[in-house]
Amino acid sequence: MAVSYLGFFVICSVLALASGSSRNRPILSFDEGYSQLFGDDNLMVLRDGKSVHISLDERTGSGFVSQDLYHHGFFSASIKLPADYTAGVVVAFYMSNGDIFEKNHDELDFEFLGNIRGKDWRIQTNVYGNGSTGIGREERYGLWFDPSEDFHQYSILWTDTQIIFYVDNVPIREITRSEAMGGDFPSKPMSLYATIWDGSDWATNGGRYRVSYKYAPYIAEFSDLILHGCAVDPIEHSSKCDNALNSESIPTGSITPEQRTKMENFRKKHMQYSYCYDRTRYKAPPPECVINPKEAERLRGFDPVTFGGGRRHHHGKRHHRSRSSRAEATAI
């Protein structure tokens, strides 16, 4: 990974993050904050320097990575996804430190899962801490818009005690650090990544529908790139924010009553899967889960086999793909 660290000095931005909004946060040019990860000429920076296209074709996918590691902050991008037949295509916008902590890495994921023509894209969030890849914490949702028609903003707020995922400044998922979650709450510095790759083996109906390269190239467009957090010394893995426990420079997160209502409405209308309610996967919910009876009832009606504990025929199972496997994913 090509990384530059501004002379190894820590940069700790003043973060006003209570609302999860991107307003008044600086938008970086690509060269200021990112480097190409893989994909050769499948990554294209546009003339304004603040927009970038990554594409997937029969040769390879592509992606980029932040030049710095960050320990907490607000990370965001406006993304427009490929249109038409996109089965098997995966666009990922995520944080990870898998290159540094191979056996106990942390990760925060937005994964966008393509679909056959006439079916909607799905969005998946996931959380891994301290190498806990054996416990997937996936949630999956539909959206109230077509993400291939225009740009929409996807954001991650990560603090010492809280993780919030946002779509167009609407919180869709909140994870609060708890004693039950223990070391599985992401706590080590991470880089921010964006990739597009071939997930034919699992992404659409468990691998039933695969990428069709007659529709390639598949192009994902990114703009309004925001890296607003505590940059970290790459050797010491420490930040000035760590030594300013009462400082306003430490990112904080909260959801207003209005935002919470929007989040509850989103989850009621659009959530299609949550690991906490998956009775075929877990006999008892993982200890950090807080069961919402209304969510449980709605998901049971949506999929009585998965969320009601009934029997199912065997289908392919999605296995977690690490950052490195995403970067190396090529056409099948």
Which residues make Cβ contacts (< 8 Å) with residue 220, sequence separation at least 6? 53, 54, 55, 79, 80, 81, 82, 91, 194, 196
Asked if pLDDT for residue 79 goes beyond 60, the answer is: yes
Summarised one tens digit per residue, pLDDT across range 53-62 is 999 999 999 9
Asked if pLDDT for residue 147 goes beyond 80, the answer is: yes
Asked if pLDDT for residue 253 goes beyond 90, the answer is: no
Of 32, 58, 102, 111, catalytic: 111
Asked if pLDDT for residue 202 goes beyond 70, the answer is: yes
CB 230 within 8 A of CB 55: no
pLDDT, the chain, mean: 85
Q: In Å, what is the CA distance from 258 to each residue of 171, 184, 261, 267, 269?
A: 10, 29, 5, 14, 17
CA separation for the pair 22, 16 (Å, rounded) = 10
CA separation for the pair 132, 287 (Å, rounded) = 14
Residue 183: pLDDT band (50, 70, 90) is: confident
Is 179 in the active site?
A: no
Report pLDDT for 133. 72
CA separation for the pair 217, 294 (Å, rounded) = 42
Average pLDDT over residues 114-132: 93
What does the block give as tokens for 153? 């903003």
- The tokens 């990428």 sit on which residue? 211
- The tokens 């249109």 sit on which residue? 83
Asked if pLDDT for residue 240 goes beyond 50, the answer is: yes
Is 111 in the active site?
A: yes
Asked if pLDDT for residue 182 goes beyond 90, the answer is: no
Report pLDDT for 77. 98
3-class DSSP assignment, residue 107: strand
Asked if pLDDT for residue 151 goes beyond 60, the answer is: yes
Asked if pLDDT for residue 317 goes beyond 70, the answer is: no
CB 173 within 8 A of CB 157: no
Summarised one tens digit per residue, pLDDT across range 254-309 is 899 999 999 999 999 999 999 999 999 999 999 899 999 999 999 999 999 999 96
Question: Domains of the chain by range and CATH?
Answer: 30-254 (2.60.120.200)
The rounded percent of the chain whose pLDDT value lies above 70 is: 79
CA separation for the pair 148, 292 (Å, rounded) = 32
Maximum Cα–Cα distance across the chain:
58
Report pLDDT for 149. 98
Q: In Å, what is the CA distance from 157 to each residue of 73, 151, 240, 265?
A: 6, 20, 19, 20
In terms of DSSP bridges, do strands 170-176 and 70-80 run parallel, antiparallel, or are they unpaired?
A: unpaired
Of 32, 58, 107, 174, catalytic: 107
φ, ψ at 158 (rounded to 5°)? -130, 120
